[in-house]
Structure formats: C-alpha cells, structure tokens
Homo-oligomer: A and B are copies of this chain.
Amino acid sequence: MTPSTTRRAQEIEPFEVMDVLSRAHALEAAGRHVVHMEIGEPDFTAPEPVVEAGVRALREGRTAYTATLGLPALREAISGFYSAKFQKAVDAKRIAITSGASGGLLTVAALYVNPGDEVLVPDPGYPGYRHFVRAFEGVARPLAVSAADNFQPTAAMVERAWTPRTRGVLLGSPSNPTGTLITPAELKKIALFVEKRHGVLLVDEIYQGLVYGAEPSTALGLPGEVVAINSFSKYFCMTGWRLGWVVLPETSVRDFEKLAQHLFISAPSAAQHAALAAFSPESLKVLEERRAEFARRRDFFVPELRKSLAVPADPGGAFYVYADCGGDAKRFCLELLNQEAVAATPGIDFGANGTARCVRFAYTRPRPELEEAAARIRRFAASWRAS
C-alpha cells in the first residue's frame, strides 16, 4: 500500500522550534518563568486606532467577503504609503491584499513556480521559502550565505547558481533569522542579472519598517520582473490578524487574482478595514516609537549576547540575532530552556548551511526580561563551553 499522504507532505520539515515551545509551556505549567525569545512576533499588539477600526468593522457588520484583491481603499492606502515613505509611485492596481504574507508567498509560488523549476533561496533563510517552492513541485536551490556576505545573497552567487531551469530568486531583507540587510547596490546587481535571464526577483519585505540606524527601503522600482511580499504582521504588530500584501508587475496581476480567488477568496475583512487606520499619523507615531524601542533592545542585547556567544553578523533590522553556539544548537536550545528557562530557536529550522551550530534569539521582550535573559544565557554558556 502506498503511504497515505503525499511525498510533499513527507518532505516538508516541521519547525524544530515547536519542540522548544511545547517544552517551554510544560515548564510554565510547572511554575517556571520562561523568557520567550523563540517566537517571530512582536510583543506589541496593533495600535489603538487599528484596534478600534477593527471593532467598528465587526459591530457594523463589515465582515462579508471583499474583492479578492482587497478593499480598494486599502490598496490605495498602501500605494500612498509607498509614495510618502519611499517616494515610489506604485499603482494601487498592482497591489494585492493577502491572508498574511503566507497567503502572498503561497500565491506567488503558485504563480511563478512550474514543476521542476528551480528557485534560489538563501540558506540560512526563512523556511517558508523552500517549502512554498516545494509545495508547488519546484526545487529550492540554496545559496549558502555567511557572515562574509552579511548573510545575504550576492549577484555573484546568483550567477554561479543559475541554471537553465532557474526561474528566479526569493530572498528576504531584513533577513529572518539573521536580521541582516542586503545592500541596495547588490540587490540592484541581482535584479539586473535576473532580468537578463528573464527570471523573477521575489523580495520578502515583511520586516521592511524594522530597520535601525538606517531608513527602510524597497526592491520596487528595480529593473525586471520584481515582486515585493509584505505584511501587516511585524512593523504593524498585527500577526494574528493574518493580513499582508503583494506588489506585482502589472502583467501578472490578473493571473494572481485568478489563483487567489480559489486559494483564499479574500483576506479577512475586518482586518482590512482595521488596517486602513494603520497609516494614520497617530498609528505611525506609535509604530515609530516601537521601532525605536526595538533599536534600543538590539543595542542592549547584541553586545550582551556577545559576552556569551559569537554573533557573526551585526543585525541591522527585524528583531532577530543569530548566534553561533559552537556545538549542537538543538541540544543547546533544549538545555538552555531546561536549565535557565530561556526559549530560543535552533538554527536548523532555517536551512542546512552551518545552521546546526546556530541559534536565533528574538529580542521581542521588554528590557528587564532581556537583561534577565542575557544573565541566564551567560551563566548557561559558561557551563556549556565547559561541558
């Protein structure tokens, strides 16, 4: 008898961090105070005006399906956001509202990945990249990124890895798990090369607003077939609302819409109405204050962590720091949790390139907890090195 589920289902890997999370919950049930640094979501909730706009939408019954590409007003608001923040003219017609960035990545993969097509993805990188490609029977080819290149792909890597089967590149900046950014110059070189090969450049910009000591940027406007995937989850602190967007080349919008009509029909309605309030000056002020808070946390936590572990690259954005524990990182994470009640994510979730020695910490906790975590990690790391 054949196995009951698909090869796809068997090949797609679970998140190792889920084991950490289960163990963390067990410790908490037993009364321990766990510092959660394993989860990729802000500890802040949506700004007040967003919440209240959501409340109004629920109470007024604005909860029917919307158009598949999203509320026209929200698409216009995002277009306005690109214009105000990035001085980029992005026609609202090119913007599709999605069920989180997941809905965006999913539909983009369905749109561009034929069976057997290769897509180049950074390793380490967000695991969804390779799994979305695999889900639609494509082949994700890892680009081995490292501290030498700030954990971001280079045009030279892309050129070397490109084959006649390659369909495009999918990368994220700021990166999950390393928090590092690609330089605009290198991204442009990649775009030019991809354009020459008639490929697509897919850029995950879901941590776009969360950069520190620099201003956010976008891949939009680069030459060739460029798609930007974005989200209300991170900068806008709306993870569980499941709302994102994609900016497409005009020629691909119709096919994206056809796919989305079936794959998710439309993004959550009240969340869309709520998100209209995310671009108000009042909300943006709150969000910029939080960005400053994340910057302060990074500035505190990264040097602290370096007293315990090697941090091979300076994180410039997102809310992650990626450290080398010098040994079996999965064991490191489980023992750190058991001994010191600090939860972190084993690097192996993010690929195969040196990831088995690495750990991702999310500095999504308030300063006092980060101080506590830093002390605990330091104590643990001393015993770890000695073992």
CB within 8 Å of B: which residues of A? 1-2, 4-10, 12-15, 18, 39, 41, 45-46, 51, 54-55, 58-59, 61-66, 99-100, 102-103, 106, 110-115, 127-128, 131-132, 135-137, 198, 200, 225, 238-242, 249, 251-252, 254-259, 261-271
For A131, give the chain B residue with the smallest CB separation.
B262
Question: In the bound complex, do residue A100 and residue B265 qualify as a contact, i.e. CB atoms below 8 Å apart?
Answer: yes
User: Using Cβ atoms and an 8 Å threshold, which residues of chain B touch A10?
Assistant: 255
A30 to B180, CA, bound (A): 53
Measured CA separation A240–B266 after assembly (Å): 8
Q: Given A9-B110, A112-B6, does the pair A262, B137 have CB atoms closer than 8 Å?
A: no
Complex: chain B residue closest to A7, CB-CB: B114
Partner of A59, one of B15, B51, B238: B51
**Chain B residue with Cβ nearest A269:** B240
Number of copies: 2
Q: Which of A128, A249, A271 has the largest number of chain B CB atoms within 10 A?
A: A271
Contact B102 A64 (CB under 8 A): no
Q: A99 touching B264 by the CB < 8 A rule?
A: yes
Which of B51, B225, B238, B263 is in CB contact (< 8 Å) with A4?
Answer: B225
Residues of B with C-beta under 8 A to A106: 106, 263-264
B41 touches A132 (CB 8 A): no
A99-B99, A137-B137 are contacts. A113–B264 as well, Cβ < 8 Å?
Answer: no
CA–CA, A242 and B240, complex, Å: 12
